[in-house]
Structure 1
Amino acid sequence: MRYVPTSCLRPGMILGKNLYSQDGVVLLAKDVQITKEYIDNIQKLLINGVYIEDSVSENIKIEHVISDELRIKAVKSIKHIYNNPKNITKTLEIVENIAKSVIGEILRNKSVMINMIDIKNYDDFLFSHCVNVAVLSSVIGIALNLEDSKLEKLVASAMLHDIGKVFIPKELLTKEELTEEEEKILKSHPEKGYRYIKTYHNSIAVTSYVGILQHHERFDGKGYPDGKKGEKISLFGRILCLCDIYDKLITERPHRKASLPSEAIEYIMAYNGSVFDPKLVKVFLKKVAPYPLGTIIQLSNGQKSIVVENNEDCSLRPIVRILDNQEIVNLTEDWNYRNVTIVSVNNY
């Protein structure tokens, strides 16, 4: 199985994974043959891509960090919270239940790197984004050996990190170019979210709502709203900053093409120590694959390959299968490939 962006889909391809609507209804079932009509409808729904099965990706099994059922339930729950911010009792119940479910599933799969590219519909971007940040944050928290109670607070903070956007005019959230005044209003969302949670959900842990306040702070002190620097930013704030930016980078949006996971990882490495906490980046690079399983890559020696396994300790040099001779090569350990690098990703 491998991921193919919608722009690269071709009639005759076989769907490798159920494709769901925003409400969790199966739009296309696994193993169906994709037609031009299906591709047109997928494009109209602004779905970023699908998983296919073909001879190139034969025997590649992609393990889910969380199940489709839990992801769909979590997105629906976040949508309910953000659309009903005054339903305080229900919000607390939802946050607690989803946090425990996400952590439970990830703990059962904690040896798994994040290899799955989330299939998103842009209309639900804010809600699926919050779920993705919660999943990424949980993976980082588990890798840091945070105790369960702290993990639950971290996931709660991640799910609610953009709750302040409920109080921002909707047109500003999708506007391509903002005036100075509009940018100021948009940048007020961490503080609005913090005040809302602190005022109306005071049973939520202090660390959770401080994380909401600080998720746009930068490690070098050039972030907002308070310009905090280094470890003066809470641990939750530093984790959320990293996970928030990564998920936004790999998401297709009306005014910006999605980055490949490898491109997003390069961005994070470039801003290591300025935007991001170096200690957290080190953990992140071990747990999030720059070349997810099923990625077709071009090597510097001219060979095309497909990623069949990732090396947690050296994620930029995965184990690949050479397409023309089916040879399995570990780019980290194979001495014959020590000078061979990955030069590009092919999405065909």
Structure 2
Amino acid sequence: MKFIKCDELKPGMRLAKPIYSKKGVLLYDRASVLRDMQSIENIKSFGLIGLFILEPAEPVPPMTQEDLEFERFQTVMYNEIMEELERIIKKHKQEKFPNIVAQIIKNYGNLRKKISFQQSLRSADDYIYKHSLNVAILSAMITHSMNVPLSEQNEAVMASVIHDIGKLTLPVELQSKQQTTEDERNIIDGHEIQGYPIIDEAFSSQPNIKRACNQARKILFDYWNGNPIQNQKTLMAAKVLVVAGIFDKETAVRIDDSPVSEVNVIRKMMSRPDVFDPRVVKGLTDSLNILVPGVSVELNTGEKALVIRTNDDDFLRPTILSFRDNSIIDLSNRGAYGNLEIVDIMKTLDNRCVMDTSKMKALGISVEEPEYV
């Protein structure tokens, strides 16, 4: 599988992932062949920056129904959020905002199991809209996992969708820049602040929305600049926004930069409980499939291994199969493996993991078997 920009697409290429319309209608299924230039021109009109394309002899990678639904939902909500944020900037009034938030909570704020969080590729032009959507989805899952009141869940998701509206007035290259200088951070911070009067007017009856955005901004501004963190009387929505925002920002799949692995991001959060509330971080790890069967990992010894069983008590210490000697290592046994740690994850290009569960079962290892499509 490889990523091809739309300008470089050629007839005969096969799609590795489905393409949906703004309304969620399937336009091109996986393995669809780009038969002619008209098909390519049609795809270009969708505003996509590029596509994941299968190698000539590569089979279609398995995806679960949940994976496909997540892709469809992201496409629909991305377009709705983009239209709504642009409307709010122009009119300082919300129209579809409550419905957007309700859809996110309905689909991802009431789950009874963890999900695999698939990151879609971003460009500078669509970064803020996709970031806002993903942060909102993460916030819905985190608050549900934490069992917070519905009112606070609503505030967290609302703040997540609207928090970056001021950044839309930034130069495009600064909207999604990963590594920034102090001067650039000051410029970004100023634009965020300029967006607050808009939030204040659009959410005049819900002052906690602007308050949560402002509190989260201050915490992260001090974090990036190495200042002491002032987080007394911080709203739950702000605490969730800080964790969800950084997780999505660091793990985002970009054209011009490589994502940080989920393990490294969460380790960084755990090392700074003054910035990232440990309860919220746990809500995040309790919501996502990260170190699950099929994930290849690198250990602090330099060895490579395969995760064969999750650890619900401490996701960073699952049971693994060493590639060096095929030995099974239960990292939860700190007495035997206390000095052994997972330092990173190795994934496929589109950030997914797939394993042959039948072989694991033949070894007597019980693993969950997803229903691939």
Instruction: Give the alignment's TM-score, normalised by structure 2.
Output: 0.68
Identity of counterpart residues, as a percentage? 24
- Work out whether residues 163 and 193 of structure 1, in 8 Å CA contact, stay in contact via their aligned partners in 2: yes
Residue 314 of structure 1 corresponds to which residue in structure 2? 314
> 1:286, CA displacement in angstroms?
2.8
> 1:250, CA displacement in angstroms?
0.7
- SS, match of residue 313 in structure 1: coil
Amino acid corresponding to residue 90 of structure 2 in structure 1: K
Residue 191 of structure 1 corresponds to which residue in structure 2? 193
Cα 1:150–1:232 change in 2 (3 A) is: closer
Residue 247 of structure 1 corresponds to which residue in structure 2? 248
Amino acid corresponding to residue 237 of structure 1 in structure 2: A
The Cα offsets for residues 305-333 of structure 1, whole Å up to 9 and x where unpaired, read as: 2x466433211133557789999976547
Cα 1:289–1:180 change in 2 (3 A) is: same
Out of 135, 139, 152, the position equivalent to 2:137 is: 135
Residue 106 of structure 2 corresponds to which residue in structure 1? 104
Q: What is the aligned-residue RMSD (CA, Å)?
A: 4.7
Residue 121 of structure 1 corresponds to which residue in structure 2? 122
Query: Whose Rg is larger?
Result: 2
Aligned residues: 328
Distance in 2, matches of 1:22 and 1:333, equals 49
Distance in 1, matches of 2:81 and 2:190, equals 21
Distance in 1, matches of 2:244 and 2:251, equals 11
- SS, match of residue 297 in structure 1: strand
- Work out whether residues 128 and 175 of structure 2, in 8 Å CA contact, stay in contact via their aligned partners in 1: no
Cα 1:235–1:98 change in 2 (3 A) is: same
> 1:154, CA displacement in angstroms?
1.7
Residue 90 of structure 2 corresponds to which residue in structure 1? 86
Cα 1:175–1:97 change in 2 (3 A) is: closer
Amino acid corresponding to residue 74 of structure 2 in structure 1: R
Residue 285 of structure 2 corresponds to which residue in structure 1? 285
Residue 38 of structure 1 corresponds to which residue in structure 2? none
Amino acid corresponding to residue 139 of structure 1 in structure 2: M
- SS, match of residue 188 in structure 1: helix
Residue 160 of structure 1 corresponds to which residue in structure 2? 162
Unaligned ranges ≥5, structure 2: 5-12, 35-42, 349-373
Amino acid corresponding to residue 251 of structure 1 in structure 2: A
The 5-angstrom pairing of residues 1-348 of structure 1 reads 6=3, 17-20=17-20, 29-31=29-31, 61=64, 63=66, 67-84=70-87, 85-89=89-93, 91=94, 93-112=95-114, 114-122=115-123, 123-173=125-175, 182-203=184-205, 205-218=206-219, 229-253=230-254, 256-270=257-271, 272-291=272-291, 294-298=294-298, 302=303, 304-305=305-306, 307=307, 310-318=310-318, 331-332=331-332, 341-342=341-342, 344-347=344-347
Cα 1:193–1:150 change in 2 (3 A) is: same
Distance in 2, matches of 1:48 and 1:86, equals 32
Distance in 1, matches of 2:53 and 2:310, equals 21
The Cα offsets for residues 158-215 of structure 1, whole Å up to 9 and x where unpaired, read as: 1001011133344543568877655423112332222211124413x11112112222
Distance in 2, matches of 1:129 and 1:172, equals 14
> 1:139, CA displacement in angstroms?
1.2
> 1:288, CA displacement in angstroms?
3.4
Instruction: Give the alignment's TM-score, normalised by structure 1.
Output: 0.73
Unaligned ranges ≥5, structure 1: 8-12, 35-40
Deviates more, 1:334-343 or 1:165-174: 334-343
- Work out whether residues 48 and 119 of structure 1, in 8 Å CA contact, stay in contact via their aligned partners in 2: no
